[in-house]
Amino acid sequence: MAILHLENGTSYSNLEDISRELSALNVNLNKWPVGDNPEIRGLLSEAALDDHQKEQVLESLDGYFQQLQETAGYQSRDLIVLHPDIPNLDSLLAKFEQCHTHADDEVRYIIDGEGVFGFVGVDGGQMELVIEAEEYINVPAGTEHWFHLTDTKRIKAVRYFSNMSGWTPEYTNTKIRISPANSAVVFG
């Protein structure tokens, strides 16, 4: 279940409330079921996957990819699998933990684990969105944001691309001020 933490200490866990708060940024958040295929569920429970296993998982979820191809022109997809045993995981993630934008949409479908997207609002306020398995997010091109893993340091996410070159981070040097630990009130 997604949880949105605002800089003022307010938190939301209801999808409608979160969507309302993110609407000014045109960030789209949805629930997408992974399904109940026992073989795929078994693969999702593994920490690491080889290329063949990744392709099995992707193919099982390609109905969503086909929709995105038809409605938004996405051209490719891959599966990123991150876990604590990956060498240099922290340095790999460091480039996304600071405020940046992309020339293309950043589209992720979390199928296992969890991560945190932070955003700079149109008024300069900041917020962080904790997302979990079966949650899809589309962060529009040009949206100032950052990303980090939760303490579990584990996530499996399908990444959808319309153009691979548009995915390079363009750093904004905005200082991140928000901390989810300061958010205590949950609505929704």
Give the tokens for residue 78: 């891959």
148 is in an annotated binding site: no
Could you tell me if 119 and 127 are in contact, meaning their C-beta atoms sit under 8 angstroms apart? yes
Q: Is 76 helix (H, G, I), strand (E, B) or coil?
A: strand
Residue type, 91: S
Structure tokens at 30: 């949805």
In terms of DSSP bridges, do strands 106-120 and 3-6 run parallel, antiparallel, or are they unpaired?
unpaired
Q: Is 100 annotated as a binding residue?
A: yes
Structure-block tokens of residue 160: 């959808």
- Distance, in Å, from the CA atom of 188 to the CA atom of 175, rounded to the nearest integer, reads 29
Radius of gyration of the chain (CA): 16
Strands 10-12 and 185-187: parallel
User: Residue 17: in which H helix or E strand, if any?
Assistant: helix 15-22
52 assigned to a ligand binding site: no
Which residues sit in the known binding site? 100, 102, 106, 145
Which residues sit in the known binding site for Ni(2+)? 100, 102, 106, 145
Which residues sit in the known binding site for Fe(2+)? 100, 102, 106, 145
